[in-house]
């Protein structure tokens, strides 16, 4: 255990503290991105979790309070697509009231964001991260799997900016042969508007996206592509455990980031715990499964008993998948799907 100024942090098997909680509020999404929820698998007949299997807002809030006592300060709402969960602003308000939550953010594809941005801000959401893989209309339509254009996403980003959900981050998954030729346009778009774009190496999350190593555009190549158009220079991380490598434009006009889980893994600094829609805690994005809290909670477990489960799960955690990634990733190793636990 490590004592900080206002809380006692729980350490895992590699002495990594619990600091960040990612809450997946639903396994549903209005997109069908091939690298996450390919349409040929998650079509009209696919059975998502029934409503009574999802954690209620009260249950999510209760578990968040427990995890804050164990060191969590940053909370992020994810999915699936969190904005398809009805009354999501109500949950935001409940989480914002928890003492000890120092940062409350959301990751969304922004397609439904424009009419909700101010409501989310008023409820207590502080920041927003937008998933946007390309500004190119054809590429974007292909990568979202629904044929949607960028208009509503861009309107959502603008609405978030007006509402003060800043700084706005834009996450873009880079897949070779698909969208690497559009990186400079997206970087320039973000730079001109004061947003922070973060390019993400295409990862082998889950087992259904057909991932292959030769589809990965390594971080160094991403940086080179952007830097050839707008020179970059590396800068230090804002804090320990920050997943994105930071680069600033040499002329002083902002910065961008690269998340290099494949080519430059950062397992040694990972402080994240994920809570799935049905109440499992998952200790790694590449985990094969999680630990159930919903069953214990609905069977009458006390806060102390639930805390004990979290302590036991995190305290024995030794995940470092990205550091030991081998050719096994191209075989049939079972992993939790990304849409289920968030990125």
Look at residue 325 and tell me whether its pLDDT is greater than 70.
no
Domain enclosing residue 311, as ranges: 2-341
Query: Comparing 143-147, 245-249, 323-327, which segment has the lowest mean pLDDT?
Result: 323-327
Look at residue 331 and tell me whether its pLDDT is greater than 60.
no
Domain CATH code at residue 190: 3.20.20.70
Give the pTM.
0.90
Number of folded domains in the chain?
A: 1
Look at residue 31 in the predicted model and tell me its pLDDT. 94
Write out the two tokens for 4: 């900080």
All residues at 6 or more sequence positions from 242 whose CB lies less than 8 Å from its CB, including other chains: 269
Look at residue 6 in the predicted model and tell me its pLDDT. 41
Which region holds residue 282: left if phi is over 0, alpha if psi is between -120 and 50, else beta? Answer: beta
- Average pLDDT score over residue span 291-312: 97
Look at residue 314 and tell me whether its pLDDT is greater than 80.
yes
Question: If pLDDT is split at 50, 70 and 90, which confidence band does 343 have?
Answer: low
Run of H or E including 173: strand 169-174
Structure confidence by residue, pLDDT tens digits, 255-296:
999 998 888 876 778 899 999 999 999 998 777 789 999 999
**Who wins on pLDDT, 343 or 98?**
98
Torsion of CA 81, 65, 55, 321, to 10 degrees: 60
* Peptide bond connecting 80 to the previous residue in cis, omega within 30 degrees of 0: yes
What is the overall mean pLDDT for the chain? 89
User: How large is the C-alpha radius of gyration of the chain?
Assistant: 19
- Average pLDDT score over residue span 92-121: 98
- Average pLDDT score over residue span 310-321: 87
Which region holds residue 105: left if phi is over 0, alpha if psi is between -120 and 50, else beta? Answer: beta
How many residues comprise the chain? 343
Query: Comparing 107-111, 122-126, 248-252, 336-340, which segment has the lowest mean pLDDT?
Result: 336-340
Look at residue 200 and tell me whether its pLDDT is greater than 50.
yes
Give strand pairing partners of 21.
75, 273
All residues at 6 or more sequence positions from 2 whose CB lies less than 8 Å from its CB, including other chains: 8, 9, 11, 17
**Who wins on pLDDT, 313 or 321?**
313
Q: How many helices (H) and strands (E) does the chain have?
A: 10, 14
């Amino acid at each position: 255990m490590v004592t900080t100024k206002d809380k006692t942090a729980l350490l895992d098997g590699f002495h990594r503290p619990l600091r960040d909680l990612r809450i997946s509020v639903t396994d549903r999404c209005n997109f069908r991105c091939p690298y996450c929820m390919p349409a040929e698998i998650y079509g009209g007949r696919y059975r998502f979790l029934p409503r009574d299997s999802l954690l209620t807002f009260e249950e999510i809030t209760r578990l968040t309070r427990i995890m804050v006592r164990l060191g969590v300060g940053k909370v992020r709402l994810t999915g699936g697509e969190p904005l398809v969960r009805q009354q999501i602003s109500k949950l935001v308000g409940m989480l914002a009231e928890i003492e000890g939550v120092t940062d409350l953010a959301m990751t969304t594809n922004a397609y439904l964001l424009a009419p909700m941005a101010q409501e989310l801000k008023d409820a207590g959401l502080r920041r927003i991260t937008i998933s946007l893989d390309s500004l190119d209309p054809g590429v974007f339509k292909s990568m979202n799997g629904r044929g949607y254009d960028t208009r509503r996403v861009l309107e959502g980003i603008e609405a978030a900016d007006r509402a003060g959900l800043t700084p706005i981050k834009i996450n873009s998954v880079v897949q070779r042969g698909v969208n690497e030729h559009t990186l400079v346009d997206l970087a320039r778009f973000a730079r001109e508007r004061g947003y922070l774009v973060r390019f993400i190496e295409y990862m082998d999350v889950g087992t259904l996206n057909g991932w292959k190593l030769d589809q990965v555009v390594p971080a160094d190549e991403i940086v080179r592509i952007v830097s050839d158009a707008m020179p970059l220079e590396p800068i230090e991380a804002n804090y320990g455990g920050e997943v994105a490598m930071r680069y600033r434009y040499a002329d002083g006009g902002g910065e961008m980031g690269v998340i290099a889980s494949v080519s430059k893994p950062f397992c040694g600094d990972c402080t994240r715990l994920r809570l799935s829609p049905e109440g499992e805690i998952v200790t790694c994005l590449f985990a094969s499964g999680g630990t159930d809290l919903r069953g214990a909670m609905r069977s009458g477990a006390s806060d102390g008993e639930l805390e004990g489960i979290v302590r036991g799960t995190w305290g024995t955690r030794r995940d470092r998948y990205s550091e030991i990634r081998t050719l096994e990733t191209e075989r049939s190793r079972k992993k939790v799907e990304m849409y289920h636990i968030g990125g």
